[in-house]
């Protein structure tokens, strides 16, 4: 309310201010969801495979048509983007958590895969920043990226993971 009051005194609306912020910083889009995995051993294997096997750090360099430019694995304490290979964030004790960084996807994209601490779920969180008025095109691009990540790294159909009804058509299509 204070901000709206201040903006009104300057002859601006909240919507105009939001448009100015988008012009300055870009649009931020996200796409988040999950699959259920009732088999804890399968879940561990899915994350071990992402690392290239048990005790390895041989992560994929591309996912679909997208180049992976960085990896942060808060389960093992690895971050390819730091000079010493150690993450700046604390470890994710008791769960799995790997973040993939992509450049050249508009102004950068990030997808994190992690296990839930309270439910038998593998969740994903994605974010992408775009410049200008490209919300629709960027939304489609982010969806393509997320689908590539989920299909390639989790393979819900091949691994018998339970897909949310609202995600079913997308994730199970050939």
pLDDT at 87 over 80: yes
The yes-or-no verdict on residue 26 having pLDDT over 80 is no
**pLDDT reported for residue 170:** 77
Quote the pLDDT of residue 23: 78
pLDDT value of residue 132: 63
| CATH numbers and ranges of domains, the chain | 27-172 (3.30.310.50)
Q: How far apart are CA 71 and CA 57, in angstroms?
A: 10
Give the residue-averaged pLDDT of 149-170.
92
Is the pLDDT higher at 140 or at 77? 77
Give the closest residue to 111 by CA, choosing from 3, 33, 171: 33
Mean pLDDT of the chain: 90
Does the pLDDT value for residue 8 go beyond 80? yes
Q: How far apart are CA 147 and CA 172, in angstroms?
A: 10
19 band by pLDDT with thresholds 50, 70 and 90: confident
pLDDT (0 to 100) of residue 106: 58
- pLDDT at 65 (0 to 100): 93
């Amino acid at each position: 309310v204070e901000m709206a009051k201040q903006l009104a005194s300057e002859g601006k609306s909240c919507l105009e201010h939001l448009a100015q912020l988008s012009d300055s910083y870009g649009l931020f889009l996200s796409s988040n969801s999950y699959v259920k995995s009732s088999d804890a051993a399968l879940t561990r294997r899915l994350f071990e495979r992402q690392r290239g096997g048990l005790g390895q750090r041989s992560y994929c360099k591309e996912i679909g048509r997208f180049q992976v430019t960085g990896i942060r694995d808060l389960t093992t304490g690895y971050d390819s983007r730091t000079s010493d290979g150690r993450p700046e964030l604390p470890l994710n004790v008791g769960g799995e958590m790997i973040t993939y960084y992509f450049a050249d996807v508009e102004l950068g994209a990030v997808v994190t895969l992690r296990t839930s601490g309270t439910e038998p779920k593998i969740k994903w969180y994605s974010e992408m920043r775009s410049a200008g008025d490209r919300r629709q095109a960027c939304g489609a691009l982010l969806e393509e990226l997320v689908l590539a990540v989920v299909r390639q790294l989790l393979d819900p159909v091949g691994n018998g993971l339970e897909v949310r009804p609202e995600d079913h058509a997308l994730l199970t299509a050939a």
